[in-house]
Amino acid sequence: MTILSVSKSDEGLYKCRISDVGESAESRLEVRGVFQTLNSSDTEKEVSDEAGPDDPAAPVISFSTIILHMLVGTPYLLSTIILGLIYRDSRRAHQLVAEDRRNHVIMEVE
């Protein structure tokens, strides 16, 4: 059973009843946390400073996930840096050759 928009009024004893099988023992449902009312409706939302393990708003990133992302991302980062350095050096080489050609006078004698 899922209770959407849980509130303090949902607290109480619950049991499961299955036809042709029987009933379970009663269990007490207790609602904990600080609640605030949203808009003018009776819908309530829990406000908590701590994110629990079942809280969908709390992303859980394991150490292995971080290592995997680093292993996948590192080659891309290194290749980008290397290609940038190669491009920079080739531009310098082309500029030096262009300057060298401007400084030389070529004479042909016939």
Mean pLDDT of 67-76: 93
Q: Which two tokens stand for residue 18?
A: 């299955």
Mean pLDDT of 44-71: 67
Q: What is the pLDDT of residue 105?
A: 66
- What's the angle, vertex CA 35, arms to CA 32 and CA 38, rounded to 5? 150
Q: What is the pLDDT of residue 59?
A: 64
User: Do residues 34 and 47 make contact, with C-beta atoms less than 8 angstroms apart?
Assistant: yes
Q: What is the DSSP letter of 22?
A: E
Q: What are the extents of the domains in the chain?
A: 11-38
Task: Please state, in angstroms and rounded to a whole number, the distance separating the CA atoms of residues 21 and 18.
Answer: 5
Q: What is the pLDDT of residue 38?
A: 53
Q: What is the pLDDT of residue 90?
A: 92
pTM, whole model, 2 decimals? 0.37
Q: What is the pLDDT of residue 29?
A: 85
